Every structure is written in structure tokens, then in C-alpha cells.
Structure 1
Amino acid sequence: MPALSKPLIQKWFNAFMRLSPRALLSSASHSADLRLPLRGECRAGQVYLVGAGSGDAELLTLKAARLLMQADAVVYDRLVGDDVLALIPKSSERYYVGKSRGHHSVPQNEIGALMVKLVGEGKSVVRLKGGDPAFFARMGEELDALTAAQVPAAIVPGITAASAAAACMGIPLTDRGHAQQLRFITAQLCREDGTPDWAALARKDETLVFYMGLSKVDAICHGLRQAGLPDAWPIMLVANASKPEQQSLVGSLADMPEKLAAHPLASPCLIVVGSVVQRVAASPASAENQARYVGQV
């Protein structure tokens, strides 16, 4: 894992100094003290299910950063960024339990057993998950394992990939003129019949966000078109949202499979479908991302 650069280390140091109780005392010109203290502790015998955000270390919550610096042990996933992992002290134990398509390095039941074991050793444990632990991250299964073992747990939310991708591309996920609804969908097609209800998803008044769907782009485009959305309906793919290696493809349901074949993207990749995608080209916030486009509107 690459070490943090000196500028980034200095940035984090300065930020935490500003946020300490003593450093945040207001100047004499202020009528009252202004404080934003980092309070609390990472308690032994407890598990913290922490969202690592979308990968950009500066999008990590203050609480998540504090817990990472305090935990005795960190159990982390594949999608956690190196800059976030660099916040873990060398004295802390690290356990990699990442999963990738077609391969689970550690079965889910063993992850639960590992957390219970570490707590039984009297350690404070951070279970670090990419994005937000409540979004398609098997948090429910892990909570069940901890509950069965009578292990106390706390949840610390993180910035999910949908929020990060929309922000980086300079568009809203909802908009009065485009989408009054927002739906998050796993593209793994885990239902009994293996197929989403395309007719229910093919609406023009909402934004659809598919997670874990890079290998399902053709099926998604075909299913939505067959259910009634027009061929020209906008779709956007964003890989590695908020990271330096972020890339995107913008197109239509009709041409996106061909575009993706010509310009392959890396995983993880988020899929956004809806008329809000039309705002990408006009957004001033997306200007800095133009160099990272591998497709055009």
C-alpha cells in the first residue's frame, strides 16, 4: 500500500489541529468560544460498522477517521482506498476480507466469526466498508452475527457511491424538472426469478442508480428499452467515483453497450439512468472531469 504523500499528511494534521478543542478557541474578536471537538472513544468489546466513503480520504467523516485512529483492529473490504487505510496506526491489527466478482476471499460467516473473536479478545473493532455500510454491503448479515453473539455494535454512515459520482459529475440525483424520485438497485439480479421488474423501473420521473452492474450494462439497457423507455434515454457510467483514476461514459440506452465495449471501464462502476444525466455537459462542476471522460454525451 503506498504511503500518504507529505502534502496529504500535512493537510490531515492541520485539519485535526483546527478541530481540537484548544485549536478551535475563537479569537478575542468573537463574543463566544467556537468549538468543534472530536469526542468519544473506540470502546473495547464493541464493533463499529464504519463507512469508508467513496475512496477520497477527504470525504471520510470525522467520526470515521477518529475511530480508525483509535481501533485495536480493523476488518476492511476491497473497495477501501489506500489513503483511508493509511490513517490506521501501524500498531493496529488489520484483517483484509475483501470480495471481488466471482471470488470471495473470506466467506461471510467467517467475517462475522472473526469480529466476534476479536471482541472476545477484549479489542475495539472497526468493520470498515466502502461507501455506506447500509448500501448493498451485507450489513444486515453482520449485525445478525454480532447480535447472536451479544456483541454491541454501532453504525457510522459514509458517503455512498451514488452521491460521490453525482457530485463529481456535477449533477443532482433529483431535480424538479427531471426526477422526483430516486431508486437504488443492486444489479446482481439476486431475486428468485433472476430478473428485475423492468416495467416498474422504466419511469421518466425518477433517477435509477444501479450498483455492482458493470457486467450487466447490456441487460439493463435492453430491459429498460423493452419496458418502454426510449432508445435515446440518458445513461451514465462512472468508475472509481471521486478517485484520481475516475472515468465516465455518457450516452443512451441504445448506444451504451457499444460505447462500453469500445471504452472498457474498471470496477467498481456505478450506473445512473435518467434525464438528470443530460445536465452533465452543461454543468460547470463537471468541467474538471472533462479530461477524464472516455465518452461524450
Structure 2
Amino acid sequence: MHIGKVYIVGAGPGDPELITVKGKRAIQEADIIFYDRLINEQLLAFAKPETELVFCGKKPNHHAIRQETINHLLVKHALKGKVVTRLKGGDPFVYGRGGEEAEYLSSNQIPLEIIPGITAGIAAPAYAGIPVTHRDYGSSFAVITGHQGSIKDFQWESLAKGIDTLVIYMGMKNLLYICRQLIKHGKNPNTSVAIIHWGTTENQRAVTGTLDTIAQKASRNNIKNPSIIVIGDVVKLSKEIGWFYPQVENVNEIRFVR
């Protein structure tokens, strides 16, 4: 029996031109594609006309297909000899459950290949003119999740005092709590913060402030997920090197809310 192969592919952060050459090839060769909510669906145009497309998107408290079912389907179609492409937003190994899927495939002896993608935690700040590292502003950065179940176990003092820049995924629901914990454990309340909503896409918007003010600004401007939160002095560079202002006719009307 011929066994197919599964490609676990990072689709990038939203701008369709940020797909890798290898990722594009995996889309083009696929017999079936399982794709997530945050991918840019323009990428599906690279697929063959006969390719089957299966939506697997997840929203808070609602999954189109449960993770266990996705794992099973990947194996099922590979055992039929198909080329299966699992298309995930950003990078599949950065909060994308790609590791879980790869484990399941490996345990079932399914050939697989991991194709990394550009993760939103680096790309969204870059499109907002914020480098996550800079010799003058921050030589270290940490990537963390803002999910309620995870943040309770954080070593807040280490994050507040030991890391120059924090990049937070899925943190909007707990933004105020995160800011308060960082201040409580020693981070300056005036530390710069940016939130980039729908980074790298035509809907990108950003709000800047400080640990003391950002939660109020985000609420006032209706900034929700999907967003990346950046905390640290590197945020100050957005004023100088910000360059991506979609849907703005006058560059003076930049989509940063100060």
C-alpha cells in the first residue's frame, strides 16, 4: 500500500506574499489542504483545481473541527496515498499546534515534512516599524501566550526584569491583567507598548501607549484579537521607521493611535 505524505506548512502572518517558496510548492502539489482561520485565503488559489479544501479554523470556544479529528483526518488521507498539506497561519511550531500534529503523524508512521513560516510575533511588529531586537533598545526578547490558563504560571518577575522585549500572542482578553502583573513585579509603568491588530494585512491598525495606559487605549479604539502585543523600548522606534500604512491616502494620517 502506497502511503502519502503530510506537509505541515506555515502560511505566514497574513500578507500572502510572505509565504515561502517551499510553502507555495506544498500548496501546489497537495491533493487535499486542511487550512486554518488566520491564513490568507488568496494562497488557496495556488492549489490545483481538483484539490479538496477543508476549513479547520478555530475561534475562542468554537472549533470548526476538533483537534483530535484533524489529527485523525491527516493520517486517514495520507494512508490513502494522498499528498496532504496542513496550512497554518504564521509558523506551525509557534502556538500553531503543529508540534502536536507532527507527533501524531510520527506515531502513526506517516511521512511528514515541516515547512516553517514567518511568525506574526516578528512580522507584525516589523510592519509597524518595530524591530524585536535592537542594539540600543533591547538585545533579548521573549515570545509568550496570553491565554488565561498559561499566564497564571508565568514567572512574572523574570519577565518584568530579565527580558528587554516581550511579544505576546492571544493576549487581548487579559491585557489589563498582564500589564498590572508586569508593573507589580518591577517593570516601569512608563514602558512603551504597542498592539498591532491584523498585522501585515490591509486591515492593520496599531495602538501605542505605556503599561499604564495601553489597556484603556485599546478599549477606546476597539482593538481586539487577532493582535500582537509588544512591550519594551523598541516600540519607540515605530515613530521613526514605521512604514506600512494600509488604506491611508495621506501619510500624515497614519493608522497609529497615539
Normalization by structure 1: what TM-score?
A: 0.80
Deviation at 1:272, TM superposition (A): 0.5
Deviation at 1:185, TM superposition (A): 0.3
Instruction: Return the alpha-carbon distance in structure 1 between the equivalents of residues 68 and 162 of structure 2.
Output: 40
Partner residue of 2:145 out of 174, 186, 202: 186
Partner residue of 1:279 out of 233, 237, 240: 237
Partner residue, 1:258: 216
Instruction: Return the alpha-carbon distance in structure 2 between the equivalents of residues 57 and 44 of structure 1.
Output: 31
Q: In the alignment, is residue 118 of structure 1 matched against residue 77 of structure 2? A: yes
AA in 2 matched with 1:110: T
Partner residue, 2:122: 163
Deviation at 1:292, TM superposition (A): 5.1
Which is further off, 277-286 or 161-170? 277-286
Cα distance, 1:186–1:172 mapped onto 2, change above 3 Å: same
AA in 2 matched with 1:264: N
Instruction: Return the alpha-carbon distance in structure 1 between the equivalents of residues 242 and 32 of structure 2.
Output: 42
Is the 8 Å Cα contact of residues 130 and 238 (structure 2) preserved in structure 1? yes
For the residue of structure 2 that corresponds to 1:53, the secondary structure is coil
Q: In the alignment, is residue 222 of structure 1 matched against residue 184 of structure 2? A: no
AA in 1 matched with 2:40: G
Show the 5 A alignment for 1:1-297: 45-191=4-150, 194-203=152-161, 206-283=164-241, 285=243, 291=253, 293-296=255-258
1:237-270: CA deviations, max 9, x gaps?
Answer: 0011110001111000001111011101242100
Deviation at 1:56, TM superposition (A): 0.8
Which is further off, 283-292 or 120-129? 283-292
AA in 2 matched with 1:243: T
Deviation at 1:285, TM superposition (A): 3.1
AA in 2 matched with 1:269: S
AA in 2 matched with 1:248: A
Instruction: Return the alpha-carbon distance in structure 1 between the equivalents of residues 162 and 237 of structure 2.
Output: 15
Percent identity at matched positions? 35
Instruction: Return the alpha-carbon distance in structure 2 between the equivalents of residues 177 and 124 of structure 1.
Output: 47
AA in 2 matched with 1:158: G
Instruction: Return the alpha-carbon distance in structure 2 between the equivalents of residues 229 and 125 of structure 1.
Output: 46
User: How many residues are aligned here?
Assistant: 253
AA in 2 matched with 1:293: R
In structure 1, list runs of 5 or more residues that go unmatched.
Answer: 1-42
Deviation at 1:189, TM superposition (A): 3.8
Cα distance, 1:208–1:116 mapped onto 2, change above 3 Å: same
Instruction: Return the alpha-carbon distance in structure 1 between the equivalents of residues 202 and 30 of structure 2.
Output: 28
Is the 8 Å Cα contact of residues 246 and 292 (structure 1) preserved in structure 2? no
- Between the two structures, name the one with larger relative contact order (CA 8 Å, sep ≥ 6): 2
Normalization by structure 2: what TM-score?
A: 0.92
1:122-168: CA deviations, max 9, x gaps?
Answer: 10000000000110111121112101211011000111002211221
Cα distance, 1:230–1:248 mapped onto 2, change above 3 Å: same
Deviation at 1:44, TM superposition (A): 6.4
Is the 8 Å Cα contact of residues 55 and 84 (structure 1) preserved in structure 2? no
Is the 8 Å Cα contact of residues 3 and 110 (structure 2) preserved in structure 1? no
Cα distance, 1:100–1:180 mapped onto 2, change above 3 Å: same
Partner residue, 1:27: none
Higher Rg of the two aligned structures: 1
Is the 8 Å Cα contact of residues 44 and 124 (structure 1) preserved in structure 2? no
Is the 8 Å Cα contact of residues 71 and 124 (structure 1) preserved in structure 2? yes
- The root-mean-square deviation of aligned C-alpha atoms, in Å, is 1.9
Partner residue, 1:3: none
Is the 8 Å Cα contact of residues 240 and 266 (structure 1) preserved in structure 2? no
AA in 2 matched with 1:254: D
Deviation at 1:88, TM superposition (A): 2.1
